[in-house]
Amino acid sequence: MKTALATVTLSGTLREKFEAAAKAGFQGVEIFENDLTQFDGTPKDVRNMAYDLGLEIIALQPFRDMEGMPAEMRKQKVNMLQHKIEVAHELGVNRLLFCSNVQPYSSADRDVCASDLYALADIAKKEGIILGYEALAWGFHIADYYDAWDLVKRVDHANLGIILDTFHMFSRGNSLDVLREEIPLNKIALVQVADAPSLQMDVLQYSRHFRCFPGQGDMPVVEFLQVLKDKGFDDYLSHEIFNDEFRSSSPLEKAVDGMRSLIWLDDQTVSKREEKTTPIKAPQVKDVEFLEFAIEGEAGVALTNTLAQLGFQETHEHRSKSVSLMRQGNINLILNREPKSQAHEHFKKHGVSVCAMAFANDDVKAALSLAQRYCVERFDNQAGPGELNIPALRGIGDSLVYLVPDDTTVRFYDVDFKPIQGVEDTQGAGLTRIDHIGQTVSNTDFLSASFFYKSLFGFDIEASQDLPDIHGLVVSRTALSKDKQVRIPLNMTNARGASAQRFIQKSKGSGVQQIAFACEDIFTAAENIDSEKQLPIPQNYYRDIEARFGLSVEQVNKLQQHNIMYDEDEDGEFFHFYTEEVHGVFFEVVQRAGHYDRYGEANAFVRLAAQARQEEC
């Protein structure tokens, strides 16, 4: 498989886009005509720039409304093609891409359209150019790829082939049957792979703003590539992504994301030419082994005080560093005060915050190998003599993800820590494990953050949902390990005043905003924490749930006494309460009854309003 991207995918100048594509490892680029038109140089300069960076220019695109035009316009289209072929020669490219006609005055007669395209293909043949024809999802007469294929068959010219674009195919609900059963490889001019979340909206707006890299959305891109591989396809796979966040992000970061996406897509499929007989799967994450906080000063004291009221106590101290461990149940929270450490650098930039998390993994070596394959940066940890050298990866924002073996016989604290004399592990407030970890990210990192967990750790990504904040909408989607033992809701907003954006402003970047602990008796847990440390929930909320769920007055009063929120569905019940924020980070305690498997999303708008109110006090 060869890899390419269209320059429209990235932000920046044409040179910046080329440099980003080359550094990320792409072999080719499609030049979007706007990028060439605004470039301050000749097409030959562009060709030389690509050559110097080791890139092949694989296509110039797009050319619009070429077929079925009124007679008076047909001559102009021929003239335009001849001029663009001159440009193509100067660029050193032999592929030009056509889009299906979107004009209401264009002809619906496919024989007329075929005649026009045949004439254009004849011109291209004389110049050694291949024309690709693509069905735009909003084409006036041809919007489905199987109709585009019907037209290409009618033309029956060696210099005209079909362009397969997954967005245009799947946004209209096309099946893969025609590709699987009819289209031969020698008639595929180019393959463009894009994904998108499941949305119900105008297809043109959908296309222009919500495309994303394969694996970041909900389209069956893996099945698409498998069909191509079954046919023996081994040519370029190219990204053509229109996305507002991509065009306002670092071109290199998005290029790396795009390369990771294509490698992942390739790994999910097999072909007759490859040695692997099954798709490459990520090793399984079994649990969160620990969370590490960077703490100093008064805010650090406030954090430890809140954790103490939640039943945590410092049980271990590091053998050589200013680091301690707070424990309860199977929850390990590291407090790092070491002045010469990654945690200290994290604190200087972000304040009191979660600087790292550790996943218990069933094959650390395989996970590290996959991280290297997917261009995920390693972090070189400095371990002292006799200390564990736990491998780490650069995670979301400036945080780290440590990888530890899924081995409960020897834990990390048995080696690097020593018990604090006179302190014994207790049940504390009855918290048992980490239920979920909420990470808030910038809008430009939302897709790449979810794909980080999906590609590297094999997490499933749930569909996005909107959480109403009093200052705007927060968009949330959850990354889930296969057994749902690790849950990471990812949140972002485009609203400047919403909670997610306020957190990013406080912490100066993406990070963990919420940590939810599971318990077996939430009322006992709530009794341990002072009321001023709890997030106060308004009385109207309790009147509402009394009416909605038919709760007794006694039940409602008990919930209200401890600011405990409630939800239920056909599978069970959910109880949860929240603490005050410490430098933007807050804790939640949850109790699941029956088989309730959600997060109390119906209560989110009340919680978000209460947090905004508490900040203003």
Residue 577 — very low, low, confident or very high, per pLDDT cuts 50/70/90?
Answer: very high
pTM, two decimal places: 0.91
Q: Does the annotation flag 289 for ligand binding? A: no
State how far the Cα of 208 lies from the Cα of 191, in Å rounded to an integer. 19
Give the burial class of 173: count Cβ atoms within 10 A of its Cβ; 0-12 exposed, 13-18 middle, 19 or more buried: exposed
Q: Which CATH number fits domain 285-419: 3.40.50.970, 3.40.50.720, 3.10.180.10, 2.40.50.100?
A: 3.10.180.10
Residue range 283-320, pLDDT digits in tens: 999 999 999 999 988 878 899 999 999 999 999 999 88
Q: Does the annotation flag 177 for ligand binding? A: no
- Arithmetic mean of pLDDT, 339-352: 92
CA 558 to chain centre: 40
Single-letter residue type at 433: R
- Arithmetic mean of pLDDT, 313-332: 93
pLDDT of residue 299: 79
3-class DSSP state of 493: coil
- Is the pLDDT confidence value at 408 over 80? no
pLDDT of residue 532: 83
- Is the pLDDT confidence value at 411 over 70? yes
- Is the pLDDT confidence value at 126 over 90? yes
3-class DSSP state of 565: strand
Residue range 444-476, pLDDT digits in tens: 899 999 999 999 999 999 988 999 999 999 999
Lowest mean pLDDT among 4-13, 147-156, 607-616: 607-616
- b/e per residue, 282-316, with b = 16+ CB within 10 A? bbbbbbbbbbbbbbbeeebebbbebbbbbbbbbbb
Give the burial class of 115: count Cβ atoms within 10 A of its Cβ; 0-12 exposed, 13-18 middle, 19 or more buried: middle
Domain with CATH 3.20.20.150 in the chain: 2-267
pLDDT of residue 229: 95
pLDDT of residue 510: 94
Q: Which of the listed ranges 276-290, 473-487, 526-540 does the model predict with the highest average pLDDT?
A: 473-487
Residue range 148-207, pLDDT digits in tens: 999 999 999 999 999 999 999 999 999 999 999 999 999 999 999 999 988 888 888 888
Q: Does the annotation flag 573 for ligand binding? A: no
- Is the pLDDT confidence value at 386 over 70? no
pLDDT of residue 385: 59
Domain with CATH 3.10.180.10 in the chain: 285-419, 432-616
- Is the pLDDT confidence value at 103 over 70? yes
State how far the Cα of 249 lies from the Cα of 457, in Å rounded to an integer. 24
Task: Look at domain 2-267 and name its CATH class.
Answer: alpha beta
pLDDT of residue 388: 75
- Is the pLDDT confidence value at 99 over 90? yes
Q: Does the annotation flag 274 for ligand binding? A: no
pLDDT of residue 384: 63
- If we measure between CA atoms, which residue out of 414, 409, 402 comes closest to residue 360? 402
Q: Per the CATH hierarchy, to which homologous superfamily does domain 432-616 belong? A: 2,3-Dihydroxybiphenyl 1,2-Dioxygenase, domain 1 (3.10.180.10)
Residue range 15-54, pLDDT digits in tens: 999 999 999 999 999 999 999 999 999 999 999 999 999 9
State how far the Cα of 169 lies from the Cα of 162, in Å rounded to an integer. 12
- Is the pLDDT confidence value at 617 over 80? no
H-state helical runs in 231-311: 251-267, 297-309
Give the burial class of 271: count Cβ atoms within 10 A of its Cβ; 0-12 exposed, 13-18 middle, 19 or more buried: middle
C-alpha distance from residue 60 to each of 8, 129, 372 (Å): 12, 11, 33
pLDDT of residue 425: 66
Of all residues in the chain, the percent with pLDDT exceeding 70 is: 98
> Which tops the pLDDT comparison, 382 or 216?
216
Task: List the helix and strand counts (H, then E) for the chain.
Answer: 21, 26
Tokens, residue 36: 């060439």
State how far the Cα of 32 lies from the Cα of 29, in Å rounded to an integer. 9
